């Protein structure tokens, strides 16, 4: 069995390593090619060294290639994995900084809300270039496995406009699944779940412990009495209490999709936890990403050495990618939760939106389970996001800055905090600041810049309600020494 | 041609008179029966005197009957018109007063928002009783013309659960149509419109002056330069500026469906006008209704005398009801905007919701024009309301107080102002206060009352950001003497 | 008011004259341009003379132009009317002749069945060229009013592939409406109808006489006792008896869409009438068209003279075209039955098919009445045709001869008569015979020709079960002298 | 793990034995109860003896109960399996005999066509009684696994009217899968398939050998060169040649769903094979069933002895039932092809119809793979059957004999052979003959009987084009001695 996998944005070193290790664990895949590509030659070189070392040490036949020429990397690929971040940490910082001036205090900012919407504006033009290359030089029918955020918007654009067979992948469902098992104090493999909705707003609709259905009260009591979750997951637990269903998304992330928890700066601290990883802090994921980038740079030799451990000791992670490939190539059925165009899967969300819902992969592709009806409150919450996403994707495709502003205006948290005039000015400011990554708005930028000369609303100068400082590499080492849990958001 | 029309809630004297006069103007309808019914015998008597006087003076053959026995009034009816207000002004006052304690400052409060949702909880059980009677004693296939608010929820319940052929009617579209012609400074009959969306959030999607399409800029400039609208319709004009489309709903009413204009009490006055009628004042329609009720009581003799004028001098209004009946009975085609189940009419709203959109009435019924796609921002705004309505209707049918709270939580304005805990307490307080009209929550009230003994959130004691006092009858007479324009909300 | 109308295939002299006269009767249209175009210069010249004479005699300001250069005729047109017949009578003769060899005895052969499907293969490439011109040189958003058969397939191709705003028009519904009034022995204007389905298989779903619903038994008895229909419309009456609904299509035409009436040659005469016009005879419409063409040629001077009569004496016909234009330009509402893409109109036919159903034309376009459910037997019959049409249209677009054969194989009458092998050979024979009009099958023709050298099935040499000879012009004059009723099929 | 399974129609001895053996092979199921019920006490006793012997010999803890009281058998059941044949062989004989008089020569007659439609009329009232019992006394949410034919109609009625969670099961897909592997000369487990459509008209849309896609030509050549299939499966091979896809249904069975192969009696023999099992003979499945019933009666002691063999030697069959239960109870994923309501699964079939398509069973139920589009010719063929089924189911529910006649009239084979008058008389004759099993037509039977006194069409007295005699038990023993392959139709 031989085929080619291309990883775009392979310079996301940690994630690429994880993906590759998983893939290399599949016995049938020993004779494949993995092509790494990134616009950053330095990062690309680091990850190539790491993966090659894994291959060498384990005496595999896998061919590893690395090039900054994306098109050549895609030639003949049957599978393309994408984990890019357009605009990098620089644009990301603006996604957090500018909305803060208008009172919008985001924790992650990569899905919807002002930051996520702009992130999508940057990402979609890039994704469409990838799609063009895939259509033109990859294997016919090649599958794009997208990990890049904002997941729903990016996948939407690739499917509807990029015309590439695309599935969006995330590990949020697995993370919540583990939490539920922990909250119920039972082993993970005794807990079965149906989780459905849209990425980062997926709902555990049915939870069974050894086949017995777990009700809201039992679940709620499990979480409220859990020594860690009870204070780290306050928003999620409150949503569970109100809606009756637990949500996939981490505490701080969830809080920024909803109009209720972050609109009063003085109350934000009531809903979040500042210990450990990110549970709601202002710009938390930006801090986390910044720290990790620095850390990796410094400790590269250590990471390279670690790559020398035998693969046999590596436990395959629960990331979907390697399992999907395994199912498609061998026919062994894999059940997971995937981001695809809705069609007829979720009956009370729009057919054109990108949902995340259970599917079964076999030889023929990803088979989504038809016919799910979300509880009304979950559907209402999801459809508010979907409406924002639809306007955002269309704006990203057309460069229509008015539509972009309408998208931001309809964002639940922005809408609960800002007035229309504030939204209009905030978007102008963001588009001007990020113009280099927004080719589709080239014509709109000058007028926006002009409007900003005579601001119509006042802005606020602050760091947000709950800001932590970026830690030094030494701090991180110390912290790591103490513990080693928690999953990143992605 | 003979048939029977029944008017439920006929004690809405002014409105019933208008409906009857319109109907009596149709030449083919001279030999029909109009049955008036109301739970208030006094009001019923007043309106019966008025209508009979009209019939007598004009020497018509129409038979007018009046009874508080609704079921007997409905016997054999082919058309049923409904203009009830369950709970009357007493419950209405609570719809305004209690949300204010939680910071929710409503102007009308009869559509969605906390007041509108509770209004629906009161109205739906009553509507279902009407439907039961209609199914059992009216003419088979009888048509219910519903004027009662909250329009969308009430019509939804009658169609889906009441199993009665129902159309919801409102005159908001005609009102905005007149404004548009005025803003464009052209005669009304030269302006054609397509207006579509949901009741009170219908959008003028296409406006033609003598066939020429009117663009956003031209319309906006017309409104902004209009001597009255420029300051009375600030929210509508701002929405037109942001969305590109003018909305049907009056300024203050529109402001309470959206999360952006009434959430900061200190800015409410920027968006409303306190002169004349209701353009955004706190509890404006409650004040208006209270004044009118008193006025009518006092001046009844005058109104009765007025009924003695020849019908030939009455100009048929643009209320849809008499035209619908005329079309159904004679086959003359009538084009209007009607509230019906969506089905396949508006492609980007849910099939089960109640929309307001153009239709053509002929001998066979109301033919809705298929295949409208709302602009994305309009669809997003409407679908937020639809989601609230769906939860509200289901809650009203089942008495599920948690679902009712979810409905209120998802209301755009409530969501922008309150926290979940505040919503939970506010709904408890409203349900307890209005328990006498909420039979479906009988089982939930005791627990709610218990919870209220230990309130979890603080409330505010105020009159709202823009409160006017109820005027005396004499004040009203004086005001009327000065002018005589403006339309009520209904 | 000024705009331009272009008539493609204007050489259909009688029909073009009728259309133009109707249009010229609309007072607001006095200052427009009518551009006539046809590939046949001779016919074009004749019709141009006639129309110009009408304009002159009536002292109208209408500008009449005529050119064989279609593209220039379309320049700036707001409305395009199409009444072409690709392949003319020559190809038409093959549509009848070749299927007869395989036992398929068609009466008209212009809708589905072997002849209609091939007719569509010829017409669709031409229509797509018209559409290209319209998109490129006509007024933006120009409306194509298509009269060319096969109506459903042609309109389907223009909408889905030609990307032109298209409505298909036919007068079958009006014809049946007149018959129903006659069968009920009441004036036409007292009868209201809802007719819905697909072109040539539209069903009178609701018939009212002065508002009173007419049941199946009353209608059936009216037809069975009618002195003419009882023997001219036997198939239609039998279908009414079995299905409970009367169908639009003329007797002979209807018989060839169904598997039941023409499959046994020895019984065909039981179902048809040979007197007068065409009520089922073999190749009847081919004979009729051939006669008329000859007649017109000979009697042109007479026709020209007739054109000199004042327009005031011309009674506007019930063809939809002039009414549609009038509604669009003036806003006066017109109710008719139109051929459009289904979308959500008929709930139990596929959304992509072309339906014929009631609509209301106003300033904004053709508003189809949403939400019709056909009776199951009517839906089943229509969907059999729709499936044939879908395959035929796709085959016409792709030149996939296997798909074309599958289309013919699934035709109800062909399927009841032929074996698959016979269908395969028959289609080969038709494609080879008509190759000059079938550019999309250019690559498939040589192999088909090769296959025909070794025929696999036997064919029959006959004239059909009920063949009449083409009459001479003198015969026609004599016949006309005797009577003057009946409508052509189109 | 303990729960109860009820088998209705357990007297289908061979099939019940197979189902039970499969279930008893699941290790987790050792402690369950299997309740057998049948209206025939004698058959029930035989099967109970057999199953009990299996349990005893293998020292299982399974509880076996048997009763003719269906309701008590259903009490507390979590799973209900149904394999009834209403009217038994007696009514079945009429299903074949009467249509023959009108020229309709059926091979199996249990799906659509005249026989299958009447079979559905008998079965549906019984199924609805089962459903009532299930709703009332079985475990809430109990799953009905229906094996009874006509599969699509029966399952349709149970879901839409019986309101019971139902899945229809058949082994046709597995049978064709084995044939495909054999035709390709490769091991079955190297061949993966997607098969989709409606029961007995499911199409192998995608076939892979070790992941490599098999094209039409390769498959066709495999079948045409296969020593057995080339002459036993002529219709299926011809359909593959015309449509491009292989169908699930056995040769003779498929031939009776299509209008093309059985309409000319003199050509039927060209398409069928008379050797071995049933490949198209007239009334073949009736003969087969008759023979087997007699055989079983005679050889019961032998069968009972055979039941004494250890279960370890029994190879679990590929019937879906035991696998579905295993997946639901243990969570182990099972992929199969299931009959369920379409909803959004197959995009080009109606949402209300019963489809057969791939699904994955897990702890939560049967997850159908969303989003299949059938090739147009396959969809056209299926939708013709679906339309017949819809009318048949509605007729069965309402006792509307006109609708029943419309259903039969629209059957593809009946429609190709009969005239409407013949259909009307044939249905009258069938309804009268089977009146004892058709309670819903009780009111229609007298009039039908009356009409039959003056027949309007002539009938034919013959045995069909390809009739074999029922063989004696001794003949069967001899034949079995010679070979042991082939699967029954069911």
* Virtual torsion, Cα A472, A473, A477, A479, nearest 10 deg: 30
- Please state the three-class secondary structure of chain C as a single string: CCCEEEEECCCCHHHHHHHHHHHHCCHHHCCCEEEEECCCHHHHHHHHHHHHHHHHHCCCCCEEEEECCHHHHHCCCCEEEECCCCCHHHHHHHHHHHHHHCCCCCCCCCCCHHHHHHHHHHHHHHHHHHHHHHHHHCCCCCEEEECCCCHHHHHHHHHHCCCCEEEECCCHHHHHHHHHHHHHCCCHHHEEEEEEEECCEEEEEEEEECCEECCHHHHHHHHHCCCCHHHHCHHHHHHHHHHCCCECCCHHHHHCCCCCCCCCHHHHHHHCECCCCCECCECHHHHHHHHHHHHHHHHHHHHHHHCCCCHHHCCCCCCHHHHHHHHHHHCCCEEEEEEEECCCCECCCCCCCEEEEEEEEECCEEEEECCECCCHHHHHHHHHHHHHHHHHHHHHHHCCHHHHHHHHHCCHHHHHHCCHHHHHHHHHHHHHHCHHHCHHHCCCHHHHHHHHCCCCCCCCCCCCCCECCCCCHHHHHHHHHHCCCCCCCC
Using a CB–CB cutoff of 8 Å, tell me whether A28 touches chain D: no
Which residues on neighbouring strands pair with residue D360, listed in sequence order?
Answer: D335, D367
pLDDT digits (tens, 9 = 90+) for B427-467: 999 999 999 999 999 999 999 999 999 999 999 999 999 99
Tell me D142's DSSP state. Answer: P
* C160 CB-side CA count, 13 A: 20
The torsion angles phi and psi of C65, rounded to 5 degrees, stand at -120, 155
pLDDT digits (tens, 9 = 90+) for C236-281: 999 999 999 999 989 999 999 999 999 999 999 999 998 777 889 9
Contact C335 B362 (CB under 8 A): yes
Average pLDDT, chain D: 95
Positive/negative CA dihedral, C82, C86, C88, C91 = negative
Coarse DSSP helix, strand, coil percentages of chain B, rounded to the nearest 5 percent: 50, 15, 35
Residues of A in contact with B267 (CB under 8 A): 419
Average pLDDT, chain A: 95
Interface test with B, best of C188, C365, C369 (most B CBs within 10 A): C369
The torsion angles phi and psi of C8, rounded to 5 degrees, stand at -90, 135
- Determine which one of C147, C229, C257, C334 is catalytic: C257
Contact A107, A283 (CB under 8 A): yes
| Cα distance between residue C235 and residue D419, in whole Å | 12
pLDDT of residue B487: 45
pLDDT category at B484 given cuts 50, 70, 90 is low
Tell me A170's DSSP state. Answer: -
Residues of D in contact with C244 (CB under 8 A): 402
Using a CB–CB cutoff of 8 Å, tell me whether A88 touches chain B: no
Q: Which of A6-15, A221-230, C66-75, C298-307 has the lowest mean pLDDT?
A: C298-307
- Determine which one of A171, A177, A253, A337 is catalytic: A171
Contact B359, B369 (CB under 8 A): yes
pLDDT digits (tens, 9 = 90+) for B210-248: 999 999 999 999 999 999 999 999 999 999 999 999 999
| Cα distance between residue D347 and residue D351, in whole Å | 8
Residues of D in contact with C383 (CB under 8 A): 383, 387
| Cα distance between residue B114 and residue D304, in whole Å | 72
Using a CB–CB cutoff of 8 Å, tell me whether B456 touches chain C: no
Out of C350, C406, C418, whose CB is closest to D377?
C406
Contact C261 D419 (CB under 8 A): yes
pLDDT of residue D423: 98
Contact A242 B348 (CB under 8 A): no
Smallest CA-to-CA distance from D6 within D59, D68, D56 is with D68
What residue in D sits closest to A370 (Cα-Cα)? Answer: D370
What residue in D sits closest to A205 (Cα-Cα)? Answer: D364
The torsion angles phi and psi of D296, rounded to 5 degrees, stand at -60, -45
Contact C267 D243 (CB under 8 A): no
Chains D and C touch (3+ CB pairs under 8 A): yes
Using a CB–CB cutoff of 8 Å, tell me whether D212 touches chain A: no
Residues of D in contact with A343 (CB under 8 A): 344, 347, 370-371
User: In residues, how long is chain A?
Assistant: 490
Contact C368 B370 (CB under 8 A): yes
* A440 CB-side CA count, 13 A: 22
Q: What is the mean pLDDT of residues C395-405?
A: 98
pLDDT of residue C480: 77
Residues 6 or more apart in contact with residue B44 via CB below 8 angstroms: B10, B11, B36, B37, B38, B66, B67, B68
Contacts A–D by Cβ distance under 8 A: 74
| Both structure tokens of C349 | 């036919």
Out of C192, C358, C363, whose CB is closest to B331?
C192
- Determine which one of D229, D257, D261, D334 is catalytic: D257
pLDDT category at A473 given cuts 50, 70, 90 is confident
| Both structure tokens of B453 | 């003994």
| Cα distance between residue B3 and residue C219, in whole Å | 26
Q: What is the mean pLDDT of residues B310-320?
A: 94
The torsion angles phi and psi of D225, rounded to 5 degrees, stand at -100, 5
Q: Which of B103-112, B306-315, B386-395, D68-77 has the lowest mean pLDDT?
A: B306-315
| Both structure tokens of B301 | 């003799």
Using a CB–CB cutoff of 8 Å, tell me whether A192 touches chain D: yes
Contact B206 C364 (CB under 8 A): yes
Using a CB–CB cutoff of 8 Å, tell me whether A347 touches chain D: yes
More confident residue, B265 or D293: B265
pLDDT of residue A487: 45
Using a CB–CB cutoff of 8 Å, tell me whether D187 touches chain A: no
Contacting partners of chain B (3+ CB pairs under 8 A): A, C
Smallest CA-to-CA distance from C210 within C245, C181, C230, C170 is with C181
DSSP-assigned states of every residue in B407-459:
HHHTSHHHHHH--HHHHHHHHHHHHHHTGGG-GGGTTTHHHHHHHHTS-SS--
Out of C350, C391, C415, whose CB is closest to D416?
C415
| Both structure tokens of C449 | 């020709």
Contact C490, C82 (CB under 8 A): no
- Determine which one of D147, D171, D279, D334 is catalytic: D171
The fraction of chain C above a pLDDT of 70, given in percent, is: 98
Interface test with C, best of D215, D254, D270, D420 (most C CBs within 10 A): D420
Residues of A in contact with D345 (CB under 8 A): 344, 370
Contact A370 D329 (CB under 8 A): no
pLDDT digits (tens, 9 = 90+) for A102-157: 999 999 999 999 999 999 999 999 999 999 999 999 999 999 999 999 999 999 99
Peptide bond into C226 cis (omega under 30): no
List A residues 258-277 in contact with D (Cβ-Cβ < 8 A).
none
Contact D390 C376 (CB under 8 A): yes
pLDDT category at C490 given cuts 50, 70, 90 is very low
Out of C267, C387, C402, whose CB is closest to D380?
C387
| Cα distance between residue C180 and residue C174, in whole Å | 10
- Determine which one of A119, A229, A246, A257 is catalytic: A257
Contact B159, B355 (CB under 8 A): no
Interface test with D, best of A364, A366, A372 (most D CBs within 10 A): A364
Please say if C226 is a catalytic residue: no
Contact D415 C416 (CB under 8 A): yes
pLDDT category at D483 given cuts 50, 70, 90 is low
Contact D307, D54 (CB under 8 A): yes
Contact C406 D267 (CB under 8 A): no
| Cα distance between residue A427 and residue A448, in whole Å | 9
| Cα distance between residue D465 and residue D106, in whole Å | 10
Beta strands in B315-436 (DSSP E): 334-341, 354-362, 365-368
* Virtual torsion, Cα B101, B106, B111, B117, nearest 10 deg: -10
What residue in B sits closest to A395 (Cα-Cα)? Answer: B376
Angle between helices C216-224 and C172-184 (to 10 degrees): 80
Q: What is the ipTM of this complex?
A: 0.96
Out of B377, B415, B418, whose CB is closest to A410?
B377
């Amino acid at each position: 069995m031989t085929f080619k996998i291309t990883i775009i944005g392979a310079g996301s070193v940690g994630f690429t390593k994880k993906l590759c290790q998983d893939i290399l664990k599949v016995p049938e895949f020993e004779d494949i090619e993995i092509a790494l590509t990134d616009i950053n030659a330095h990062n690309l070189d680091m990850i190539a060294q790491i993966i090659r070392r894994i291959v060498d040490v384990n005496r595999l036949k896998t061919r590893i290639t690395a090039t900054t020429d994306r098109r050549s990397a895609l030639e003949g690929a049957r599978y393309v994995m994408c984990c890019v971040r357009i605009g990098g940490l620089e644009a990301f910082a603006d996604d957090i900084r500018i909305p803060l001036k208008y009172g919008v205090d985001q924790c992650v900012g990569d899905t919807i809300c002002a930051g996520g919407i702009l992130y999508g504006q940057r990402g979609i033009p890039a994704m469409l270039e990838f799609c063009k290359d895939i259509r033109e030089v990859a294997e016919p029918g090649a599958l794009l496995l997208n990990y890049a955020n904002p997941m729903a918007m990016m996948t939407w654009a690739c499917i509807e406009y990029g015309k590439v067979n695309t599935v969006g992948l995330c590990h949020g469902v697995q993370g919540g699944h583990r939490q539920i098992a922990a909250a119920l104090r039972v082993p993970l493999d005794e807990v079965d779940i149906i989780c459905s909705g849209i990425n980062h707003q997926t709902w555990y609709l049915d939870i069974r412990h050894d086949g017995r259905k777990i009700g809201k009260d039992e679940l709620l009591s499990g979480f409220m009495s859990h020594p860690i979750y009870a204070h780290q997951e306050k928003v999620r637990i409150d949503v569970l209490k109100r809606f009756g269903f637990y949500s996939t998304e981490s505490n701080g992330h969830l809080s920024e999709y909803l109009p209720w928890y972050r609109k009063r700066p003085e109350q934000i601290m009531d809903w979040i936890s500042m210990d450990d990883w990110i549970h709601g802090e202002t710009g938390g994921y930006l801090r986390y990403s910044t720290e990790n980038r620095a850390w990796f740079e410094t400790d590269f030799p250590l990471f390279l050495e670690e790559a020398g451990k035998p693969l046999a000791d590596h436990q395959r992670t629960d990331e979907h990618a390697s399992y999907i490939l395994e199912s498609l190539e061998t026919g062994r059925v894999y059940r997971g939760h995937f981001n695809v165009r809705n069609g007829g899967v979720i009956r009370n969300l729009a057919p054109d939106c990108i949902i995340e819902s259970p599917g079964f992969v076999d030889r023929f592709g990803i088979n989504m389970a038809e016919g799910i009806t979300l509880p009304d409150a979950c559907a209402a919450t999801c459809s508010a996001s979907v409406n924002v996403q639809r306007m955002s994707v269309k704006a990203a495709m057309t460069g229509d800055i008015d539509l972009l502003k309408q998208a931001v205006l309809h964002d639940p948290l922005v809408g609960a905090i800002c007035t229309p005039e504030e939204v209009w000015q905030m978007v102008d400011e963001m588009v001007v600041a990020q113009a280099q990554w927004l080719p589709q708005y080239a014509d709109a930028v000058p007028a926006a810049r002009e409007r900003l000369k005579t601001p119509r609303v006042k802005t606020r100068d602050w760091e947000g309600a709950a800001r932590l400082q970026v830690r030094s590499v030494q701090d991180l080492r110390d912290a790591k020494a103490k513990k080693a849990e928690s999953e990143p958001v992605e």
